[in-house]
Structures are given as C-alpha cells and as structure tokens.
C-alpha cells in the first residue's frame, strides 16, 4: 500500500460526522506525515506485528495505517458512535478477519493477547493504560502529552524522574522518539505531545515480586521531598511494611540520606529486597 492509498484523516472525520471534543478527551491525529511515521517506530525495531492493539481508535486514521503493516489489528473505542462508524468504514477488513473493533473502556475491557500496541491514547488514561500494557512485555508505540512522555523516559536526578520513570524502566527501554505539535490534532490539545517507544527487556536487578516493588516505589515517591529514611517510616500504610525501622537500619546511611528523585531503580530494588527480608517478619 502506498501513502496515497490511505484514507484521508479529514475525510474520515467528515464521514463520521465528528470534530473532536476536548471535554471527552477526543483529539484526532490528522497530520498525514505523523500518521505515516507512527508505525515505522515499531517496524524499525522489527517488532512482532502479528496482532497489534490500538487503544482509542477514533475514526480510524491510524487504524488504516496499522492494517498496512500488521497481520491483525484489535481497535478499542469507547465512544459507541465512533465504534459503529469503524465497523461500517472498515467492514471489508472486519469481514476478512483482519480487524476487530472492541467497544468499551480500555481500562475495563478484557484485552486480547497481542504482540504490540500502537496507539494515539486518550491522554486522560495515560498513566492507567501504560501500567496495564507494560507488564505484557511487548513493544509499545504510544502518543502521550509531552510532559508525561518526558517523565516516562527520565533518568535519576532529573526534575522529571519519578514513579512513572522507575515503573516504565522496570519493564522496558523507554525512548521519546518524536515530538508532535498541537497542530497535528483536531481539535488541537492545550499541550504539546510526543511519541514514546518502549522495547521490553528484563531489568538489571532482582526484586521479590513486581507488585511489592511497585508498592514500595509508589509509597516512597508520595514523600519525594523527604529523605528515604523518613519516607520509609512515614509510608508503611502504603508499602505494607510491618517493620519499616528494620529496613532503615539495614539499608545503610548513604541510601537513607538520599531523596526519592536521586534513588536509582537498582537502589529501589535493594530496598524492596530488604523489605522482603526484614521489613515484613
């Protein structure tokens, strides 16, 4: 398929009879050049595209391009009218077994097994959906608010580094691969956007289990301005530690003097291991 064979994004909006609704988190990506590039961020790392999951399919401009590179696509759309439009617009692809349209909330529907996700996400569910997709261990190419993208890819010690950075980095290498201007959308959002690519990998450290690790990271970052010593003591109700003082004593003074924004994922993993050994007798 050549670029000229793709459905025109503006024509799709016209046929669907929609113009986007910021109050419903609807900002349709209409820039052909950006739309054309989005799937390439998956193909250039040889991602397995046998079954691609698209969250927030809208009027199908990106869906159209995904069908050109994927064997199968499952498109999730919350808006009933847009879901109905997709079923009509892509009836041939659905009949051929290449496209499935799931109507519902992406945070609530049962997700199929998929080999990659490529999506222009509704920004209001960015955090929740990325925490749902990352543990699947497949490549992701996702559109976010630029601020969220920067936080997702941030390094320890930077202003953007936080719980999101540690969580995302636990599952994958994270790259901000392209900034996207407001003008690429209709209606334009109030913020700049960016495309993020995650490539799954195993972390360089061991944790007792992912859930305990995430709970501890979440707890400590609720008190990011405190020293780790005080953050551990103050958040046992979040982390579930029965004996936070034992973790403080075992961790060592250098780590306890740090603040969350300067603690590396490896050091958080050390704290999680100590929590399992001495913090929950």
In terms of pTM, does the model score above 0.75? yes
| Mean pLDDT computed over 113-128 | 94
Domain housing 241: 210-279
Q: What is the mean pLDDT of the chain?
A: 94
The fraction of the chain above a pLDDT of 90, given in percent, is 89
* Rounded Cα–Cα distance for residues 138 and 116 (Å): 5
- In 3D space, the residue among 220, 229, 227, 239 whose CA is nearest the CA of residue 280 turns out to be 239
Q: Is 234 annotated as a binding residue?
A: no
User: In the sheet that 99-103 helps form, which strands lie side by side, from edge to edge?
Assistant: 99-103, 72-77, 51-55, 116-120, 140-145, 193-200, 172-180
Q: Quick check: is 205 in a domain?
A: no
Domain count across the chain:
2
Q: How far apart are CA 25 and CA 257, in angstroms?
A: 41
Q: Is beta strand 116-120 parallel, antiparallel or unpaired with respect to 140-145?
A: parallel
77 assigned binding-site residue: yes
CA gap 224, 17 in Å, rounded = 46
29 marked ligand binding residue: yes
CATH number where 251 lies: 1.10.8
Q: Once rounded to an integer, what is the mean pLDDT over residues 248-275?
A: 96
Average confidence (pLDDT) over 112-135: 94
Dist CA 262 CA 258 (whole Å)? 6
**pLDDT tier at 1 (50, 70, 90 boundaries)?**
very low
* Last residue within a domain, chosen from 154, 171, 200: 200
Confidence band of 2 (pLDDT split at 50, 70, 90): very low
* Torsion sign across C-alpha atoms 11, 70, 46, 166: positive
Which of 166, 200, 234 represents a domain boundary (last residue)?
A: 200
H helices of 56-125, in order, are 61-69, 80-89, 91-95
48 domain-assigned? yes
């Amino acid at each position: 398929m050549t670029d000229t064979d793709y459905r025109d994004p503006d024509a799709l909006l016209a046929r669907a009879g929609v113009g986007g609704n910021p109050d419903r988190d609807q900002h349709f990506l209409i820039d052909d050049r950006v739309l054309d590039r989005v799937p390439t961020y998956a193909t250039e790392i040889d991602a397995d595209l046998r079954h691609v999951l698209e969250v927030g399919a809208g009027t199908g401009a990106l869906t159209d391009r995904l069908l050109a590179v994927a064997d199968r696509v499952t498109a999730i759309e919350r808006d009933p009218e847009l879901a109905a439009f997709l079923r009509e617009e892509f009836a041939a692809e659905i009949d051929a077994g290449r496209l499935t349209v799931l109507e519902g909330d992406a945070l609530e529907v049962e997700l199929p097994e998929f080999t990659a996700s490529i999506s222009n996400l509704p920004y209001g569910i960015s955090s929740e959906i990325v925490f749902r997709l990352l543990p699947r261990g497949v490549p992701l190419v996702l559109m976010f608010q630029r601020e969220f993208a920067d936080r997702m890819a941030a390094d320890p010690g930077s202003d953007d580094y936080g719980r999101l950075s540690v969580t995302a980095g636990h599952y994958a290498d994270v790259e901000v691969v392209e900034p996207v201007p407001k003008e690429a959308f209709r209606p334009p959002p109030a913020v700049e956007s960016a495309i993020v690519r995650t490539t799954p990998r195993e972390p360089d450290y061991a944790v007792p289990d992912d859930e305990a690790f995430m709970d501890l990271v979440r707890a400590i970052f609720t008190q990011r301005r405190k020293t780790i010593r005080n953050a551990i003591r103050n958040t046992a109700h979040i982390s579930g530690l029965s004996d936070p003082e034992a973790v403080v004593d075992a961790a060592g003074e250098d780590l306890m003097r740090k603040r969350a924004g300067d603690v590396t994922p490896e050091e958080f993993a050390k704290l999680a291991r100590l929590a399992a050994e001495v913090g929950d007798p």
